[in-house]
Amino acid sequence: MKMPKIVWLLVIGMAVNVTGASLIWPLNTIYLHNELGKSLSLAGFVLMLNSGASVLGNLLGGTLFDKIGGYRSILIGIIISAISLIGIIFLHGWPWYAVWLVILGFGSGIVFPSIYAMAGSAWPEGGRKTFNAIYLSQNIGVALGAALGGFIADFSFTYIFILNFLMYAIFFFIAFFGYRSGKPIVSGSNVMRDVGNIKDKTKFNALLMVCTAYCLCWIGYVQWQSTISSYTQDLGIPLKAYSSLWAINGVLIIAGQPLIAPIINRLSTRIKTQIAIGFVIFIVSYIVTSFADTFLMFALGMIILTIGEMFVWPAVPTIANMLAPKGRTGVYQGIVNSTATLGRAIGPLLGGFLVDAYNMNVMFTAMIVFIGIGFFFLFIFDRKINLYE
């Protein structure tokens, strides 16, 4: 199947968007804790506010997609994000940095579900391939942004803020000229008016259960951007070396596709098994990283984590697309993105508290327990539905 032009443009736009975002998000905790002198708990609270705003943006973005289409929704999100980045360039002390970060979270939150929903609607027969293409483009952005971010931060964080804004400006032009021809979306305002429709309610409940497991995974995953990032600095690992961990993440996801493709293809009708494999690999990653005290050990932990996410991250929006009634694709993708963002909100605050109050080992143990709870929701989410009907 040939990928439609609009999906290619969405893939390119996502790569540019995430490249800009990845210049800054791996370094947020380091900037707040090491540059502005704030505690890990306070840094975690700021990131929680950022992610909370993203949750609202995700839900609004999904709703806007169903009401006014992806083109306008994406432009609204980009403009809000660009305004916050202009603010960060000129005012990045305390507390302004936190204020702009919250606004940035809201704006970027609008963009993501709109891109996923627009891609799914433009190429519904693509299935997992559609979302895997978006996922790969995200990780091209992660690899480029993280690699550049650590290098540039050694000179000045201000340069990072400026380059982030420039990437959003490029993304705006791609969206403005490229997404206007996107496939019109049927409004979902009347689709689920009958709340007594058991079939729709059952599928919606299934979505909430798989998203709960997804959220629990993100609580652990985001530790790499918060507690683990600060921990590497305490161990004397250079900032450039820490940023290179995210470059490893992005490059491995792209280069590793041929390696996991045979497994994914064999399990194409067993998407729950794909996610379960990823969960097991996540647990192994946390166990390995809990013993890390050198860059090589952290790199090994990141490599294992990356293999796990290759199974899990594209699978969840695929499930949402399979479950979504006609005209509700945007809302369902908004829920998926908002639960991931909720995990990113809870994770830094909870992880920071556990490390401040106890130690890193307690934090890693808690993350493994969360994955165990995620297994429970994964196993029961499709008991009352046929996902492939």
pLDDT at residue 37 in the model = 87
pLDDT at residue 242 in the model = 87
Chain Cα centroid distance, residue 58: 11
Rounded to whole angstroms, how far apart are CA atoms 29 and 43?
6
pTM of the model: 0.78
Chain Cα centroid distance, residue 288: 23
- How many CA atoms within 13 Å lie on the side-chain side of 152? 20
Q: Which residues contact 101 (CB under 8 A, 6 or more apart)?
A: 28, 46, 47, 49, 50, 84, 88
The sign of the dihedral angle between the CA atoms of 311, 316, 322, 327 is negative
- Using the CB atoms, write b or e for 158-179: b if 16+ within 10 Å: ebbbbbbbebbeebbebbeebb
Residue whose token pair is 């936190």: 98
Least Cα distance to 128 among 289, 270, 268 occurs for: 268
Token pair of 373 as six digits: 């709870």
The sign of the dihedral angle between the CA atoms of 288, 293, 297, 299 is positive
pLDDT at residue 192 in the model = 37
Rounded to whole angstroms, how far apart are CA atoms 31 and 330?
34
The sign of the dihedral angle between the CA atoms of 268, 117, 339, 258 is positive
SS (H, E, C) 322-364: HHCCCCCHHHHHHHHHHHHHHHHHHHHHHHHHHHHHCCHHHHH
Least Cα distance to 22 among 142, 160, 165 occurs for: 142
Rounded to whole angstroms, how far apart are CA atoms 143 and 60?
28
SS3 299: helix
Taken in order of first residue, the domains within the chain and their CATH numbers are: 5-180+197-380 (1.20.1250.20)
Please say whether the beta carbons of 110 and 64 come within 8 A. Answer: yes
Tens-binned pLDDT, residue by residue, of the chain (389 aa): 688 888 899 999 999 999 998 888 778 888 898 888 888 788 888 988 998 898 888 888 888 888 888 899 999 999 999 999 999 999 989 999 999 999 999 999 999 888 888 888 888 777 768 878 888 898 888 888 877 887 887 788 889 999 999 999 999 999 999 888 655 444 443 333 333 343 558 888 999 999 999 999 999 999 998 899 889 988 999 888 888 898 898 889 888 888 888 998 888 778 899 999 999 999 999 999 999 999 999 999 999 999 999 999 889 988 988 888 877 777 788 788 889 888 988 998 899 899 989 999 999 999 999 999 999 999 998 887 766 66
Rounded to whole angstroms, how far apart are CA atoms 309 and 278?
6
pLDDT at residue 305 in the model = 97
